[in-house]
Amino acid sequence: MAKSLVNKIIKKKESQIDLSKIADHIEQGQFKVNTRSGFTQKKTFSPSTIVFGQGHCARYWYLAFEGNEWEEKNTGINYANMNAGTSGHERIQKALEAQGILEWSEKQIVNADPPIFGYADAMVSLDDQLVLLEIKTTKSEAFDYHKNNGHASAYHVEQLLIYMKILKQKVGAIVYESKNTHEICVIPVVANEKHVEFIDYLFDWMQKTYKAFQDKQLPERAYRVGSKVCMSCPLEKVCNSREEGVIKIERRKEIEQ
């Protein structure tokens, strides 16, 4: 009788606990730990941002340089993926160091005009030649594509080319690691005429965009209201509350591969 009563109490307590909430708490906690919502003011272009999403929009950069309320659109899962990528970088950099070919890692890259600040992943010495590396961790499906086609994502190439231009480096490579198997694939990027033409265009675009900010000429929208890019932009609400804009700067072009 007593045992039966205890079992009923245990089952009742178990039924009152929604264990699925643990997953929700973890995701929400990861967001709180990593989020940067609130007033934010950028001083420089970031290579990792200029190559992706709202980074193509001059109006976004104007508002970011001006300083405004930031509404972070990433999720806890997004942050977990980013942090996993960071740990992958460190592991690969240590492996290169152990092999005696690592010249440096996580080097601050600074450019004055246009103002750019970022961190290059690694420089290695291979066969008496310096090679600049951009390290990316990716899902198995994307990794298999890069490996089978010998083809890197355009925005990864663009990011590497920014660092290559600033460092006056002609040879680089994008190192992909599969998140699933940790297999490595290396895609070479050797600066050619097409690369030089694109990166000169991109630096000109950044200079024009920064000058608009200095001259207090708010650019027109580069995307329609409610577009996917705008909805993922941390300055969406600020942008929507502002005037039309007084200067037209086309959204920046992407490199052709």
Domain residues for 102? 26-241
Q: CB count, 10 Å around CB of 116?
A: 21
Alpha carbon of 127 to those of 124, 130, 239: distances in Å? 10, 8, 50
- In a domain, residue 10? The reply is no
Average pLDDT over residues 68-87: 65
Of the pLDDT bands very low, low, confident and very high (cuts 50, 70, 90), residue 60 is very high
218, pLDDT greater than 90:
yes
- In a domain, residue 77? The reply is yes
d(CA 12, CA 8): 6
- In a domain, residue 221? The reply is yes
pLDDT digits (tens, 9 = 90+) for 28-54: 665 555 556 689 999 999 999 999 899
Q: What is the pTM of this model?
A: 0.84
What's the total number of domains in the chain? 1
- In a domain, residue 16? The reply is no
- In a domain, residue 21? The reply is no
- In a domain, residue 20? The reply is no
76, pLDDT greater than 50:
no
- In a domain, residue 248? The reply is no
- In a domain, residue 251? The reply is no
- CATH number, domain of 179, equals 3.90.320.10
